[in-house]
């Protein structure tokens, strides 16, 4: 499973979760910045877009109950015949505070989920803390409330050389934001850049993550 040290676990016995689709009610922040040289080296071996995307999500309900999550993609897969017409995240770092969600990420979508602790309000000041790493966010919302309807896609490298490709469809409302970030850990500061970045706040929404296709 493709991951960085902050998202690596030797544990294999996770509580079993239901298969997708996974519908959920969410509150979240998302931010992005130009990828660092380290991020470009970390990216998968195909055509990529040098943009790093990160999210912190508060799942108010889901098939495994409420939980919180942080994830980041150092670069984006560029559109192409293999992954389809939209850019997709390649996620080597993702952490949650739910053991069944760890199972779901690892077994349904090839996402290298690990356990972490979370504190604060995801739309204001929020902290994610794991084994030897920490990410803090401080979000300032700007601009009007607007509707949102779209999809976030990801394509996860598999051990046999293929890709697990899936999408999460989202409807709800958002506001533009500036997100101040501090990242600590063995590798995170090299590619998840600390500083103040452009972002959006998902004020409230419905999200459904579908099953992965293997290509």
In sequence order, what DSSP letters do the residues of the chain get, joined into one string? ----GGG------PPP-PPSPEEEEEEEEEEEEEPPHHHHHHS-SS-EE-EEEEEEEEEEE-TT-SEEEEEEESSEEPPBTTTBSS-EE--SEEEES-HHHHHHHHHHS---EEE-EEEE-TTSEEEEEETTEEEEEEEEEEEEEEEEEEEEEEEEE-TTS-EEEEEEEEEEEEEEEEEEEEEESSSHHHHS--EEEEEEEEEEEEEEE---EE-
Please state whether the peptide bond connecting residue 21 to the residue before it is cis, i.e. omega within 30 degrees of 0. yes
What mean pLDDT comes out for the span 177-198? 98
The pLDDT score that the predictor gives to residue 159 is 81
**Per-residue pLDDT band at 84 (split at 50, 70, 90):** confident
Contact between 105 and 94 (Cβ < 8 Å): yes
**Per-residue pLDDT band at 192 (split at 50, 70, 90):** very high
**Per-residue pLDDT band at 169 (split at 50, 70, 90):** very high
Q: What is the mean pLDDT of the chain?
A: 96
Give the C-alpha separation, 94 to 72, whole Å. Answer: 7
Nearest residue to 66 (alpha-carbon basis) of 107, 91, 100? 100
9-59 tens-digit pLDDT: 999 999 999 999 999 999 999 999 999 999 999 988 789 999 999 999 999
Give the C-alpha separation, 151 to 142, whole Å. Answer: 23
The answer to whether residue 6 scores a pLDDT higher than 90 is yes
The answer to whether residue 197 scores a pLDDT higher than 90 is yes
The answer to whether residue 206 scores a pLDDT higher than 80 is yes
What mean pLDDT comes out for the span 150-158? 93
What mean pLDDT comes out for the span 112-131? 98
The answer to whether residue 173 scores a pLDDT higher than 80 is yes
The pLDDT score that the predictor gives to residue 116 is 98
pTM of model > 0.75: yes
Cα maximum dimension of the chain: 46
Strands 113-115 and 117-120, by their bridges, are unpaired
């Amino acid at each position: 499973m493709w991951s960085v040290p902050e998202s690596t676990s030797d544990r294999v016995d996770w509580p079993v979760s239901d298969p997708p689709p996974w519908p959920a009610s969410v509150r979240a922040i998302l931010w992005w910045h130009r990828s660092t040289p380290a991020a470009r080296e970390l990216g998968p071996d195909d055509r990529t877009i040098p943009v790093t995307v990160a999210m912190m999500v508060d799942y108010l309900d889901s098939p495994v109950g409420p939980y919180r999550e942080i994830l980041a993609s150092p670069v984006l897969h560029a559109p192409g015949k293999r992954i389809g017409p939209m850019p997709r995240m390649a996620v080597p770092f993702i952490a949650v505070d739910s053991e069944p969600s760890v199972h779901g990420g690892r077994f349904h979508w090839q996402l290298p989920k690990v356990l972490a602790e979370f504190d604060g309000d995801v739309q204001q000041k929020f902290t994610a803390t794991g084994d030897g790493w920490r990410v803090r966010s401080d979000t300032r919302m700007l601009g009007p409330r607007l509707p949102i309807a779209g999809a976030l896609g990801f394509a996860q490298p598999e051990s046999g050389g293929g890709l697990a490709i899936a999408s999460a469809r989202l409807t709800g409302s958002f506001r533009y934001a500036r997100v101040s970030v501090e990242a600590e850990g063995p590798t995170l500061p090299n590619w998840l850049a600390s500083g103040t970045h452009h972002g959006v706040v998902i004020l409230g929404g419905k999200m459904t993550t579908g099953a992965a296709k293997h290509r």
